[in-house]
Amino acid sequence: MSDTDALIAQLAERLEPVRRLRKPWLRAALWSAFATALIALLVALRGFRADIGECMRDPAFLVPLAGAWLTGATAALAAFEVSLPDRSRLWLLLPLPAVALWVVGFAAGCLADWIAIPEGAPVAEESVRCLTTILLATAGLLVVLVPMLRKVRTLRPAATAWIGILAVAGFADTAHLLIHPVEASLLVLVINLVPAAAIVLLGGLAGRRMMAA
């Protein structure tokens, strides 16, 4: 009996039934529902931004808001799909249109705020509150998403980590846009993507271990 035959016999001998993963779209939908509920909870705790009524009629607000939420949902679906070995890497492109909506929206917002905020305006306190909202949302979303993705034991840990982080950033910014008037969408991306880049790029060490088989 060759080593390989012996290995097959050993694997068959200690075979245990496994629970199949749910469909990727279902897991993505569940996580997106959780993310939306978390956003609602944060809004309930902190309240809508003061100018929400006005914002809801303003396309310059609605476009990045929809873009951020859609980025979260599509990136989540892409993460669950691409984490499986037999799915195409093209799934990684799925969030691109939503990201475009989001980024174009907040880029315009940044410019408008840069012009609008008068010198010496009391934005520091609001910025701290804004940062804590973003961090709370990010932490809450990660706590649920990471174990869900880890369960897959993916063969593509880096791609899965990147796209998963994009999903977290999208939903975290949705919460931020609804709660805070301070323009910080870029900050949300930086908060999420810089650690992700550090994790994934640092030899793929933690990122790979966190997600890998």
Partner 1 sequence: MALSQAGDAKAYRLLLGGVTPYLRALAHRFGLVGSDIEDAVQDALLTLHSIRHTYDPSRPFAPWLVAVARHRMLDYRRRRVRQFGRETELTDFHETFAAPEANPPERAGEGAKLHAAIAELPAGQRQAVELLRLQEMSLKEASAKSGQSETALKVAMHRAVKRLRILLGEE
Interacting residues toward partner 1 by CB under 8 A:
2-5, 7-9, 11-13, 15-21, 23, 84-86, 152-153, 155, 213
CB closer to partner 1, 100 vs 213: 213
Helix (H/G/I), strand (E/B), else coil: 11? helix
CB closer to partner 1, 70 vs 161: 161
CB closer to partner 1, 17 vs 203: 17
CA nearest to 42, candidates 179, 168, 177, 135: 179
Q: What is the closest distance, in whole angstroms, from the C-beta atom of residue 165 to partner 1 in the complex?
A: 21
Q: What is the closest distance, in whole angstroms, from the C-beta atom of residue 10 to partner 1 in the complex?
A: 10
Q: What is the closest distance, in whole angstroms, from the C-beta atom of residue 15 to partner 1 in the complex?
A: 5
Q: What is the closest distance, in whole angstroms, from the C-beta atom of residue 146 to partner 1 in the complex?
A: 17
DSSP-H helix ranges across 83-156: 96-116, 124-150
- For the chain, the C-alpha Rg in angstroms (whole number) is 20
CB closer to partner 1, 21 vs 186: 21
CB 138 within 8 A of CB 132: no
Residue 71, both tokens: 């980025």
Q: What is the closest distance, in whole angstroms, from the C-beta atom of residue 206 to partner 1 in the complex?
A: 19
How far apart (Å, rounded) are the C-alpha atoms in residues 112 and 117? 9
CB closer to partner 1, 17 vs 147: 17
Neighbours of 57 (CB within 10 A): 8
Q: What is the closest distance, in whole angstroms, from the C-beta atom of residue 131 to partner 1 in the complex?
A: 37
CB closer to partner 1, 18 vs 44: 18
3-state secondary structure 19-42: CCCCCHHHHHHHHHHHHHHHHHHH
CA nearest to 80, candidates 188, 189, 156, 171: 156
